[in-house]
Amino acid sequence: MEVYLVGGAVRDELLGRAHGERDWVVVGSSPEEMQALGYRQVGRDFPVFLHPDTREEYALARTERKTGPGHTGFVCHAGPEVTLEEDLLRRDLTVNAMARDAAGNLVDPYGGARDLAARVLRHVSEAFTEDPLRLFRVARFAAQLPGFTVAPETLALLRAMVAQRQLHELSAERVWAELDKALACAAPARFFEVLAEADAWDPWFAEFRAVAPYWPEAPSLPADAALGFAVLCWSLTPEAVATLCQRLRAPKRQQRLAEAVTRHKATLLDWRKQPAHAVLAALTGIGGFAADRDPEDALCVIECCSGRSLDDLRGALAAASTVRAADFAGLGLEGPALGAAIRAARERRIGSEQSL
């Protein structure tokens, strides 16, 4: 049997980039031999094994044949006769279809190194269209690899997949996973630029057909996937955000932050010029005073309004947050009267911060 390092680890090594997990392909072996060597099988649809020491994944070289719709509509064949070249042929892009042998020699049957040098994302074979998720993977790799463009022939395939309504076959979970990864990439705007080039807004991102996704050219944002989604939805209405999130089955926190941004951004952007009661309403709306919410959520929403006296706005939130019901003990206030007193005190704190 022969073992090869494949995929992203080889690509990133050639680019001089750090890489995380390593994937391995085993040629000329069988499940029985792998298990006899101490590997533990974990794959159900095709043989994937965990190394007995490193716990890294080793997959037997395999071929795939499309038999039906969706990502489950494939028949996989893994056997000792399957070659490395056949295994690499089923992969999506040439830059992901390279391998290194045990001696460190590069195996590149489909021109991946050439395309890396040219900064081009190119499909390996016509089988590319058999999984429509690959459209979103190409968009995600464009976000992950700034400066890379989609080859014209590959873009033509993407447009054909859209025209044939293949994107409708995908599950919300798979589409969301690619978007979530793209938002954590170096150039997330490229994800949506590729969707625009392929006219791939429908059905998953229909809200952005008329309103372009927003992403600042030089964002100064914390590494928070939920915040990235909120920034993306900047130009949408809260109602459009709700529809988008329902379709994508987005996590609740992502939806909550995105809706808060779209609903309260106007007040937060110019908070010094707004009435104190309006600022208080916005800070309350983003969860700034909610005991059952993560206080970081409100700060994330504020962070979306970068470059607009945010340190002072955080200070206003902090000052208003010091007002507690216990401050009014002994005054005989309760119910609506106590609530009104707390709001009035918080408005005064915000007003003081506005005047600084």
pLDDT at 297 over 90: no
Virtual CA dihedral for 32, 38, 43, 48, nearest 10 degrees? Answer: -90
Percent of the chain whose pLDDT exceeds 90:
66
Give the pLDDT score at 79.
84
Number of neighbouring beta carbons within 10 Å of residue 35: 13
What pLDDT digit, counting tens, does each position of 118-169 carry?
A: 999 999 998 999 999 999 999 999 999 989 999 999 999 999 999 999 999 9
- Tell me the domains of the chain and their CATH numbers: 1-112 (3.30.460.10), 119-198 (1.10.110.30), 265-354 (no CATH)
Parallel, antiparallel, or unpaired for β 106-107 and 120-121? Answer: unpaired
What pLDDT digit, counting tens, does each position of 13-59 carry?
A: 999 988 778 999 999 999 999 999 999 999 776 789 999 999 999 99
Residue 149, beta-bridge partner list: 120
What pLDDT digit, counting tens, does each position of 189-236 carry?
A: 899 999 999 999 999 999 998 888 877 654 455 457 788 888 889 889
pTM, rounded to two decimals: 0.86
For residues 353 and 312, the answer to whether their CB atoms sit within 8 Å is yes
Cα Rg of the chain (Å, integer): 26
Give the pLDDT score at 345.
94
Give the pLDDT score at 70.
56
Residue 99, beta-bridge partner list: 6, 107
Long-range CB contacts (within 8 A, 24+) of 282-290: 283/316, 283/317, 283/320, 283/350, 285/260, 286/260, 287/256, 287/260, 288/317, 288/320, 288/321, 289/320, 289/321, 289/346
The residue among 76 and 306 whose pLDDT is bigger is 76
Say which residues have a Cβ less than 8 Å from residue 194's Cβ, sequence separation at least 6: 138, 139, 142, 150, 158, 200
